Amino acid sequence: MAKCDQCGNDYDRAFQVNLGNEIYTFDSFECAIQKLAPACPHCGVRIIGHGVE
């Protein structure tokens, strides 16, 4: 099993995300979003699917 880099959960269906020179392991999209998605500077909500302007 692989350990999630965000929550520490050991999960047999974990997946990896390659970002630049870093490789992250997650057990869910929710954890990947919390770790990698940028936050809106105004309200702090994670930005998924579009950029910040």
pLDDT tens, 27-48?
A: 999 999 999 999 988 999 999 9
- Beta pairing partners, 23: 18
Q: What residues contact 39, with CB distance under 8 A and at least 6 apart?
A: 45, 46, 47
CA 38 – CA 53 distance, rounded (Å)? 12
pLDDT tens, 10-30?
A: 999 999 999 999 999 999 999
Q: What is the DSSP letter of 6?
A: T
Element housing 23 (H / E): strand 22-26
| Predicted TM-score (pTM) of this structure | 0.83
Tally of domains within the chain: 1
Domain that holds residue 51: 1-53
Structure tokens at 49: 């699917």
